């Protein structure tokens, strides 16, 4: 257990950041799963509407350092490509 004042504060910060990151990571995964479900159902209009929110969450996660930038780009690219294929090659 930390005794030094700065170490105690760092422990508090670490616990707080861990909870925030866990929540954001869960939100990211849930949104990607929802998007993949919409794509699987084949509803292009609803999927296109949800794509903007999903891409925004992925970009935010990348900006916060939760996922690598190449991973974020790959996720956005694949989801967009699938949605565009539903919309008839738009």
Helix boundaries (H) for 1-90: 5-41, 44-63, 69-86
On whether the pTM is more than 0.75, the answer is: yes
Quote the pLDDT of residue 1: 81
What are the residue boundaries of the structural domains of the chain, listed by start? 5-86
Q: Which residues 6+ apart lie within 8 Å of 7 measured at CB?
A: none
pLDDT digits (tens, 9 = 90+) for 2-33: 899 999 999 999 999 999 999 999 999 999 99
Assign 37 a pLDDT band (cuts: 50, 70, 90).
very high
Instruction: Please give the Cα distance from 35 to 84 (Å, whole number).
Output: 13
**Span 66-73, average pLDDT:** 96
- CA–CA gap between residue 5 and residue 12 (Å, rounded): 11
pLDDT(43) > 90: no
Fold type of domain 5-86: Methane Monooxygenase Hydroxylase; Chain G, domain 1 (1.20.58)
């Amino acid at each position: 257990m930390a005794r030094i004042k700065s170490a105690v504060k760092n422990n508090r910060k670490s616990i707080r950041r861990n909870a925030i990151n866990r929540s954001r990571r869960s939100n990211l995964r849930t949104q990607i799963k929802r998007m993949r479900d919409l794509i699987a159902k084949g509803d292009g209009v609803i999927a296109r509407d949800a794509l903007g929110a999903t891409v925004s969450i992925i970009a935010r996660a990348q900006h916060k350092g939760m996922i690598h930038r190449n991973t974020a780009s790959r996720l956005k690219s694949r989801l967009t490509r699938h949605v565009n294929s539903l919309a008839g090659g738009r």
